[in-house]
């Protein structure tokens, strides 16, 4: 069984925040709208959205790993990544962004980084904008309409890639 967890913050006010891209991807997977037609993405797959605030994600993930007895090789955590440009993503085992408090809490609770990181790029700022807006503020802003168009395209790519793993 594969467990795919999307990180984000609970509550409607955060629904369209950049920090909630993990929840947004899970919603897309669950809707079936972006599922590759020739692949059965849902066979042996459990999708979950974190129900705790981002920086407290560790206990949620740890509890699910224990409950479902998931091997590290079958755990996928989808999260926002400021180290990656909007429209890009990486799926890497044991490697996350330089700084991410939600992931740090997961590492502390699991005792390691040994799981799949689905790193979804959210940064569309220019160099000057990066100097003016702190990352912790930027991630709590909503995606713009233009960014949502780019995000929709990358979510389709992510779903196709997850279906092949």
Task: Render pLDDT for 63-102 as a digit per residue (tens, 0 to 9).
Answer: 999 999 999 999 999 999 999 999 999 999 998 888 899 9
> Rounded to two decimals, what is the model's pTM?
0.92
Q: What percent of the chain has pLDDT over 90?
A: 72
Query: Is residue 100 flagged as an active site residue?
Result: no
Q: Which of 19, 23, 79, 100 is catalytic?
A: 19
Q: Which domain holds residue 150?
A: 2-164
CATH number at residue 27: 3.40.50.1470
Tokens found for residue 5: 């967890």
Counting the structural domains of the chain, the total is: 1
Distance between CA atoms of residues 120 and 139, nearest Å = 12
CB 19 within 8 A of CB 8: yes
Task: Render pLDDT for 3-43 as a digit per residue (tens, 0 to 9).
Answer: 999 999 999 999 999 999 999 999 998 887 655 544 455 56
């Amino acid at each position: 069984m594969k467990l795919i967890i999307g990180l984000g913050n609970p509550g409607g006010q955060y629904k369209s925040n950049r920090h909630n891209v993990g929840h947004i991807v899970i919603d897309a997977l669950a809707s079936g709208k972006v599922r590759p037609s020739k692949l059965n993405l849902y066979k042996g797959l459990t999708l979950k959205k974190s129900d705790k605030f981002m920086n407290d994600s560790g206990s949620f993930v740890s509890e699910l790993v224990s409950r479902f007895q998931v091997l590290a090789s079958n755990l996928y955590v989808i999260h926002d990544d400021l180290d990656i440009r909007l429209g890009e993503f990486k799926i890497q085992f044991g490697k996350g962004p330089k700084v991410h408090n939600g992931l740090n809490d997961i590492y502390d609770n699991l005792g390691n980084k040994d799981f799949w990181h689905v790193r979804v790029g959210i940064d569309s700022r220019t160099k000057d904008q990066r100097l003016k807006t702190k990352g912790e503020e930027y991630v709590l802003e909503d995606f713009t309409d233009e960014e949502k168009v780019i995000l929709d395209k990358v979510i389709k790519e992510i779903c196709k890639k997850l279906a092949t793993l």
